């Protein structure tokens, strides 16, 4: 790393453990801004397929990889599929005021000549809803209830129970309605193909309703035989997903608590409780979990967040989230770098109160655990690190599972994870408390790993004489590979 480039928040790498995800957009597309965001603390960049062309995103991927190489640190990329997002069509006059008790109709097609006849991008709406179902508009600020359905299925008649103004192209939510559309749309398939071709590390699946949605996406990804298989992030934002949460958690690789649509689909007062419930369950099952939506929303225009936003971010960290995500704050906001720095500061303060996990709280799930012997060694590593008040835990990993096992324990001792696979390093950008690095020599022996870590730590001012290291690696005795835990004091 060039001396002219600021150290990528090396103090942060040692002390701050919550990962930061930043959504890209016009405010953050330049290579200089990407560099500043990474230095400020971004671990993963999010590409929202609902906005932007593939050509534009290809340029971003190239820039991100360039910044990653320049700063010598892995940076993950999350591709967020749009899913079956429903939007209003064009409204006559562009907008209309919906007074309580007023009646409107949803009609087939995408053209309407009356402001009280509404259209939407989801043609089966008229087929799927029934009398008594709610239709929420404009992020849930306007609510209607279905009164009657045309026997010929050309319209449904509704009455307004929550008044407000609606505009063309605003979002439509159908809480509790079983949609007939598949979870992966034709647009999603094209976006997924592009994502796999560009070796994205994570794929977000929007509007997950049941575990089968996740399994279908796994199969679709496998059918492309990708060189790098991304991890699937199930976005929990529908009440159906809450109802099938346990099965979804069994099928997915990671989870996002997407509080925007979740706060529309479910009663908004339930969102904090649902957030805590989902995060706690993910922690128990060793599933990385992201908390997202409006975390520092006021900073899109203001230089400082509200006290409530600061408390929200801190509470997500205390709940046990692995990552916190910025959306409009970094995509279109006026202060993207300041937002990341603020997120970093809040997380740093909150992490001092994060309690270590208890071994008995983790479910014995072989699909998410490391090998039994490795699992035992990692548990010993945690105990030794805490007892000795070690400065650093170091792990050499091929798949990232050992690093994840250490991460799940929420130790106050930071973890440095080495791998010889770039794609594994980028995946570990989502693991709480883990700083991933790529080095192809460290797999050779525990001694080579130790020497590299000492040199790296001293160079970056993280280690000094007397620093204690706990190293988890492998050694080869008599032609057999053995798991090894080693304690070392820097001379």
Q: In CATH, which superfamily holds the domain spanning 86-173?
A: PK beta-barrel domain-like (2.40.33.10)
CATH class of segment(s) 359-489: alpha beta
Beta-ladder partners of 173: 136
CATH 3.40.1380.20 domain extents, the chain: 359-489
pLDDT value at position 356? 85
Residue 417 near residue 397 (C-beta atoms within 8 A): yes
Residue that the structure tokens 């990889």 belong to: 65
CATH 3.20.20.60 domain extents, the chain: 10-83+183-351
35 in active site: no
Name the catalytic one among 12, 14, 35, 46. Answer: 46
Residue 297 near residue 309 (C-beta atoms within 8 A): yes
Q: How do the pLDDT tens digits run along the chain, 491 residues long?
A: 444 344 444 444 445 799 999 999 999 999 999 999 999 999 999 999 988 999 999 999 999 999 999 988 899 999 999 998 899 999 988 999 999 999 999 999 888 889 999 999 898 999 999 999 999 999 889 999 999 999 999 999 999 999 999 999 899 999 988 888 888 999 999 999 999 999 999 999 999 999 999 999 999 999 999 999 999 999 999 999 999 999 999 999 999 999 989 998 888 899 999 999 999 999 989 899 999 999 999 999 999 999 999 999 999 999 999 999 999 999 999 999 999 999 999 999 999 999 887 765 555 455 555 567 777 887 888 889 989 999 999 988 888 888 998 998 899 898 999 898 999 999 999 999 999 988 876 555 667 778 888 888 888 778 889 999 998 876 554 444 557 788 899 98
pLDDT value at position 377? 80
What does pTM read for this prediction? 0.91
CATH of 10-83+183-351, one of 3.30.2130.10, 3.10.450.240, 3.20.20.60, 3.40.50.970: 3.20.20.60
Residue 238 near residue 208 (C-beta atoms within 8 A): yes
Give the span between the Cα atoms of 49 and 31, in whole angstroms. 20
pLDDT value at position 361? 55
Residue 475 near residue 448 (C-beta atoms within 8 A): no
Give the span between the Cα atoms of 278 and 224, in whole angstroms. 31
pLDDT value at position 478? 40
Name the catalytic one among 14, 17, 105, 235. Answer: 235
46 in active site: yes
What does each C-alpha distance from 349 to 38, 92, 318, 357, 381 come to in angstroms? 20, 51, 10, 19, 25
Give the span between the Cα atoms of 406 and 414, in whole angstroms. 10
Q: Whose CA is closest to 234, among 259, 196, 208, 260? A: 208
pLDDT value at position 127? 94
pLDDT value at position 3? 42
Structure tokens that stand for 416 in this block: 């440095």
Tell whether the torsion through CA atoms of 8, 431, 323 and 334 is positive or negative: positive
DSSP string for residues in 218-230: HHHHHHT--SSPP
Residue that the structure tokens 């919550």 belong to: 18
Name the catalytic one among 85, 87, 108, 187. Answer: 87
pLDDT value at position 6? 44
Name the catalytic one among 23, 252, 291, 293. Answer: 293
């Amino acid at each position: 790393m060039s001396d002219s480039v600021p150290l990528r928040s090396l103090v942060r790498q040692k002390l701050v453990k919550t990962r930061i995800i930043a959504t890209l957009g016009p405010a953050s597309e330049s290579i200089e801004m990407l560099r500043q965001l990474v230095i400020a603390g971004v671990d993963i960049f999010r590409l929202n397929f609902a906005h932007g062309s593939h050509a534009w995103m290809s340029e971003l991927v190239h820039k991100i990889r360039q910044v990653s190489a320049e700063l010598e640190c892995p940076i993950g990329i999350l591709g967020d599929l749009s899913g079956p997002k429903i939007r209003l069509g064009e409204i006559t006059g562009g907008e209309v005021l919906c007074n309580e008790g007023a009646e409107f109709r949803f009609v087939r097609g995408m053209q309407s000549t009356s402001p009280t006849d509404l259209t939407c991008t989801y043609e089966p709406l008229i087929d799927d809803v029934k009398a008594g179902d709610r239709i929420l508009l404009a992020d849930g600020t306007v609510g209607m209830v279905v009164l009657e359905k045309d026997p010929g299925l050309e319209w449904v008649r509704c009455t307004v129970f929550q008044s407000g103004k609606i505009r063309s192209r605003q979002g439509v939510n159908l809480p509790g309605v079983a949609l007939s559309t598949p979870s992966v749309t034709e647009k999603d398939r094209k976006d997924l193909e592009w994502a796999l071709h560009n070796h994205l590390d994570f794929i977000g699946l929007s509007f997950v309703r049941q575990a089968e949605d996740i399994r279908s996406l796994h199969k679709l990804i496998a059918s492309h035989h990708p060189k790098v298989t991304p991890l699937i992030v199930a976005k929990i934002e529908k009440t159906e997903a809450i109802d099938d949460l346990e099965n979804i958690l069994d099928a997915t690789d990671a989870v996002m608590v997407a509080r925007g649509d979740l706060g529309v689909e479910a009663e908004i007062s339930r969102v904090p409780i649902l957030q805590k419930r989902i995060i706690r369950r993910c922690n128990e099952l060793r599933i990385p979990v992201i908390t997202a939506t409006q975390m520092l929303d006021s900073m899109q225009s203001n230089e400082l967040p509200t006290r409530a936003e600061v408390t929200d971010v801190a509470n997500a960290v205390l709940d046990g989230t692995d990552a916190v995500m910025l959306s409009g704050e970094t995509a279109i906001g006026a202060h993207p770098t300041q937002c990341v720095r603020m997120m970093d500061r809040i997380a740093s303060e909150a992490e001092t109160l994060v309690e270590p996990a208890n071994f008995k709280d983790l479910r014995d799930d072989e699909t998410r655990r490391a090998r039994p012997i490795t699992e035992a060694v990692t548990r010993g590593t945690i105990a030794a690190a805490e007892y000795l008040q070690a400065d650093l835990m170091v792990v050499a990993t091929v798949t990232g599972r050992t690093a994840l096992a250490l991460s799940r324990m929420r130790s106050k001792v930071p973890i440095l994870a080495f791998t010889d696979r770039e794609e594994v390093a980028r995946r570990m950008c989502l693991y709480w408390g883990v700083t991933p690095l790529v080095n192809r020599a460290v797999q050779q022996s525990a001694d080579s790993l130790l020497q590299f870590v000492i040199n790296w730590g001293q160079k970056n001012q993280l280690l000094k004489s007397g620093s204690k290291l706990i190293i988890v690696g492998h050694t080869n005795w008599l032609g057999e590979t053995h798991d090894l835990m080693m304690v070392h004091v820097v001379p």
